[in-house]
């Protein structure tokens, strides 16, 4: 009788143990790559950006008429993801493609994105879906874009359509990509449509409308699926004082607040994780942003607008700050380097992952890393000159060819998945 009880207890104990292990595996680290619709898809799409490009205003006069033919090759490109061994893919849905005219949805486009989501899942790849990545339909631009309150409602309507169709298949949603970048370039620096300069009042209105839309979509997704993970992907830069003078230290604090926390604080109750896009850090002083002479160029990227500091420890610092501020999990929704010769990219990836590992050892919960980008594409500031891709694209044949760093990233993922401890491949 006693042995029976012991056996019974042992069975219960082992079942509990099994569940505990499963639970810890449930939150599988997302190893991924990211793209956005406008940058890869191509096609004559009635969006504000495409209009702008047709007028020859885009960097190097290029257009996304063909881009890298990503719409037609979307299902083919899943093979690249498989080859990389990633378990997730962040991509965006082009609003102007699915709703080319107000309230007229394109069923074929809706089906395309739904089929893509299902195909990714069937291949063991978790889709991370971005609903807005910089571009707006032309009909939205024609009625003052985000400065118009109605745009928030129109965006929510479009988002609901996508969510209704896909919420059973999608857990991770990014409502808006880098509002801190796209709104600043649209209304302060004046080089994204609608090219307004230093229009603070309009800027403020646009910010309010974007956040209002985010909050509504956040709630809507959670009503449908309480397990969903919803956030915004912000651009972060680690602003550091160029000297230890109090005034410079203060400027760095102000810059970090104005660039990041001002934005993230507004939706701190409506984000399930902090989405961090990180590329470089900046040294600042009182005179920022009027002078760039204080940037300390140690190792700089080929980014076309101006050279930038490559600083993996900046990523560690940002994740620590975000963790202390919000106590929420973090996903690195973008991190990448334009490097046509592919000689700095493997180190870039390695060092940023190591920085995340250090942050993790200090108690930060990091649930994913997405390299930008799967393949070369149209870049907002550099056209086709900036080469971020793990895959190089021949713009004539649209053939994708892996750069050595694609294999490096693949091996790195494999090593991590086999062994929780840091064990980076050599190259
Ligand atoms: C980010 C954008 C992304 C890509 C990278 C290089 O700011 O979110 O689309 O262009 O820069």
- State percent of the chain over pLDDT 90: 76
Banded pLDDT at 284 (limits 50, 70, 90):
confident
Record the tokens describing residue 188, joined without a space.
């302060």
Residues 13-41, mean pLDDT to the nearest whole number: 67
Answer whether 216 contacts ligand 1 (Cβ < 6 A): no
Banded pLDDT at 285 (limits 50, 70, 90):
confident
334: pLDDT strictly greater than 70: yes
Answer whether 177 contacts ligand 1 (Cβ < 6 A): yes
Q: What pLDDT does 283 receive? A: 81
Which residue's C-alpha comes closest to atom 4 of ligand 1? 379
Q: What pLDDT does 185 receive? A: 95
Q: What pLDDT does 241 receive? A: 86
158: pLDDT strictly greater than 50: yes
116: pLDDT strictly greater than 80: yes
291: pLDDT strictly greater than 80: no
Strands (E), 248-365: 274-284, 330-335
Tell me the whole-structure pTM to 2 decimals: 0.91
Question: What average pLDDT is seen over the chain?
Answer: 89
18: pLDDT strictly greater than 50: no
Q: What pLDDT does 57 receive? A: 86
CA 39 to ligand 1: nearest atom: 9
Q: What pLDDT does 389 receive? A: 98
Instruction: State how far the Cα of 262 lies from the Cα of 251, in Å rounded to an integer.
Output: 15
Active site residue 178: yes
Pocket-testing residue among 92, 186, 277, ligand 1, by greatest number of atoms within 8 A of Cβ? 277
17: pLDDT strictly greater than 60: no
- Range with top average pLDDT, 106-115, 183-192, 302-311, 354-363: 106-115
Q: What pLDDT does 176 receive? A: 98
Answer whether 256 contacts ligand 1 (Cβ < 6 A): no
Residues 118-146, mean pLDDT to the nearest whole number: 98
Instruction: Supply angle C-alpha 159, 162, 165, rounded to 5.
Output: 145
Query: Which helix H or strand E contains 88, and what residues bound it?
Result: strand 88-92
Question: Comparing 115 with 385, which gets the higher pLDDT?
Answer: 115
Q: What pLDDT does 301 receive? A: 62
220: pLDDT strictly greater than 80: yes
Residues 136-149, mean pLDDT to the nearest whole number: 97
One DSSP character per residue, 216-282 reads HHHHHHHHH-TT-EEEEEEEEEEEEESSS-HHHHHHHHHHHIIIIIHHHHTTGGG-SSEEEEEEEEE
25: pLDDT strictly greater than 60: no
Banded pLDDT at 260 (limits 50, 70, 90):
very high
| Domains, the chain, ordered by start | 28-418 (3.20.20.80)
CA 336 to ligand 1: nearest atom: 6
Q: What pLDDT does 310 receive? A: 82
């Amino acid at each position: 009788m006693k042995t029976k009880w012991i056996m019974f207890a042992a069975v219960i104990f082992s079942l509990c143990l099994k569940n505990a292990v499963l639970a810890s595996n449930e939150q599988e680290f997302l190893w991924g790559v990211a793209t956005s619709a406008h940058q890869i898809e191509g096609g004559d799409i009635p969006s504000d950006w495409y209009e702008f490009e047709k007028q020859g205003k885009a960097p190097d006069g290029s257009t996304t008429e063909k881009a890298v033919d990503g719409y037609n090759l979307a299902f083919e490109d899943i093979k690249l993801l498989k080859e990389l061994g990633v378990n997730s893919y962040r991509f965006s849905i082009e609003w102007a493609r699915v709703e080319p005219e107000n309230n007229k949805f394109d069923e074929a486009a809706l089906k395309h994105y739904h089929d893509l989501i299902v195909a990714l899942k069937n291949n063991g790849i978790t889709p991370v879906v971005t609903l807005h990545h910089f571009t707006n339909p032309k009909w939205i631009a024609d009625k003052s874009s985000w400065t118009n309150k109605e745009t928030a409602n129109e965006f929510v309507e479009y988002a609901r359509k996508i969510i209704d169709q896909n919420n059973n298949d999608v857990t991770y949603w990014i409502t808006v990509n880098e509002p801190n970048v796209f709104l600043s370039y649209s209304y302060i620096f004046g080089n994204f449509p609608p090219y307004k300069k230093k229009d603070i009042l309009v800027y403020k209105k646009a910010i309010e409308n974007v956040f209002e839309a985010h909050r509504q979509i956040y709630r809507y997704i959670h009503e449908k699926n309480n397990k969903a993970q919803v956030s915004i992907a912000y651009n972060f830069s680690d602003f550091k004082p160029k000297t230890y003078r109090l005034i410079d230290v203060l400027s760095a604090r102000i810059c970090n607040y104005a660039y990041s926390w001002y934005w993230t604080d507004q939706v701190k109750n409506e984000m399930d994780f902090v989405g961090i896009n990180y590329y470089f850090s900046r040294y600042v002083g009182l005179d920022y942003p009027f002078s760039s002479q204080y940037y300390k160029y140690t190792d700089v990227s080929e980014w076309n607008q101006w050279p930038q500091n490559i600083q993996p420890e900046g990523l560690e610092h940002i994740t620590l700050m975000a963790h202390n501020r919000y106590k929420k999990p973090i996903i690195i929704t973008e991190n990448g380097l334009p490097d046509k010769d592919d000689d700095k990219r493997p180190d870039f990836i390695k060092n940023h992952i190591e920085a995340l590992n250090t942050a993790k050892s200090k108690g930060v919960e990091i649930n994913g890393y997405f390299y930008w980008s799967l393949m070369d594409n149209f870049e907002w500031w550099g056209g086709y000159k900036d080469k971020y891709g793990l895959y190089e694209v021949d713009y004539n044949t649209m053939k994708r060819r892996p750069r050595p760093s694609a294999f490096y990233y693949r091996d790195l993922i494999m090593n991590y998945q086999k062994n929780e401890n840091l064990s980076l491949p050599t190259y």
